[in-house]
Chains A and B, each alone.
Chain A
Amino acid sequence: QQQVKQSPQSLIVQKGGISIINCAYENTAFDYFPWYQQFPGKGPALLIAIRPDVSEKKEGRFTISFNKSAKQFSLHIMDSQPGDSATYFCAASMKNTGFQKLVFGTGTRLLVSP
């Protein structure tokens, strides 16, 4: 129940294309869903996050789509660029408990070809 399932494991997209990464969860107590971007040798960087009271959130080229009934959420990267090549992690937490524990997906390695 604490798991967050992420797919695909790896993804190759051409420059200018749309990258889509999907995550699913079981625990309906999760109420905060961030996405992190990690480059080799670096810590994860917060990209964008959503709460379940909205179905979509957009920040620049990055959009989260959230489907509460299906318990799924996804990251869309529009106009993908080679600089977006990194590993992306979805996560979930129960912010209403006051605790900061993030449960992470297994990661998606994105390669944007020039």
Chain B
Amino acid sequence: KAGVTQTPRYLIKTRGQQVTLSCSPISGHRSVSWYQQTPGQGLQFLFEYFSETQRNKGNFPGRFSGRQFSNSRSEMNVSTLELGDSALYLCASSHITRDEQFFGPGTRLTVL
């Protein structure tokens, strides 16, 4: 079974731009969560989607948004990029009946 895939793997943007990251969950997984990983703040929860609905949201500004499609694929968007948004953005998927969350390789975003 293929794992969680994320595209693109690397992105370089400038301040003020916006960016969209994509995540394809493991087949059969309907829950998709997003996390931000930085050296200073560690791994922080952004939001979780299930059946195209956002079920939970972390403590991030409204510039961070996401959505989920009917095939469970998810996208997250960051508008008006700031230098501090430079991070590894991780997507994780899980099956509705199981505890485990499986992470993708992440998208490394650099904001210049």
Contacts and interface: CB of A to CB of B under 8 A. Distances in A.
Contacts, number: 60
Interface residues of B, number: 24
Given A34-B100, A100-B56, A107 B45 contact: no
A101 B58 contact: yes
B104 A100 contact: no
A104 B90 CA distance: 13
Interface in B56-94: 56, 58, 90, 92, 94
* Majority secondary structure of chain B interface residues (helix, strand, loop or mixed): strand
Contact of B48 (A32, A49, A100): A100
Interface string A36-74: 100001111110010100000000000000000000000
Contacts of B4: 43
Interface size class of A (residues with CB under 8 A): 20 to 34
A99 B42 contact: no
Contact of A44 (B56, B58, B90): B90
Nearest to B46: A101
Interface of A: 32, 34, 36, 41-46, 49, 51, 89, 91, 95, 98-107
